[in-house]
Amino acid sequence: MDKRLLMKDAFCFKLLDRRDFVLGAGAGALLASLVGGTRKANAVTGSEEFEAALAEILQGATPNSGGVGMDIPAAVENGDYVPIALGVESPMTAESYVRAIHLLSPANPRARVATFTFTPLSGRARVTTVMRLAKTQEVVAVAELSDGTLLMSTRSVDVKVGGCGT
């Protein structure tokens, strides 16, 4: 026990010796994020497929950060069965309604989980479903409003056991 602790200490010291480098890199990243400005309150990185799917939905536009309500547990035991509700506040009239909400996963084998399409006849832009999550990740929802506005929200979910073969 003692020996293991000592070894751990030795390992930590080794890391600490490199603290200047680590701190320097951290400061650099922070600076880059500050200088980068808009990149990004809502930058989520993920699989190539995820990046491509998100780009296809956004079509080069920058979404407003937030605005899509996401009710999803912060932690789940079983990634095969993750309840989620998505919603956007909207009058849902012919003049102003939510066209669609896209649900995306940055870390599942398939990035596009679902696209939900609404009409003024929906009355409310809200849907409840059950999704799969292969591992811990930040789930992404993008809403398209009838005036072309894009909204994007994210929620991180800690997954204990991933949805097999999702």
Partner 1 sequence: MKKPPRIKIPEGIKAGDVIEIKTLATHIMETGNRKDAAGNKIPRDIIHTFRATFEGREVFSVALGSGIAANPYFAFFLRVPGPGMLELTWIDDEGETTVEKVPLVVA
- Contacts with partner 1, residue ranges (CB under 8 A): 80-82, 92, 103, 105, 108-110, 112-124, 126-133, 163-166
Cβ closest to partner 1, residue 7 vs residue 164:
164
Shortest separation between residue 116's beta carbon and partner 1, angstroms: 5
Shortest separation between residue 112's beta carbon and partner 1, angstroms: 5
Nearest to 127 by CA among 108, 106, 100, 153: 100
* CA distances (Å), origin 117, targets 62, 89, 102, 128, 131: 21, 15, 9, 13, 17
Cβ closest to partner 1, residue 76 vs residue 150:
76
Q: Supply φ then ψ for residue 124, to 5 degrees.
A: -140, 140
Shortest separation between residue 28's beta carbon and partner 1, angstroms: 36
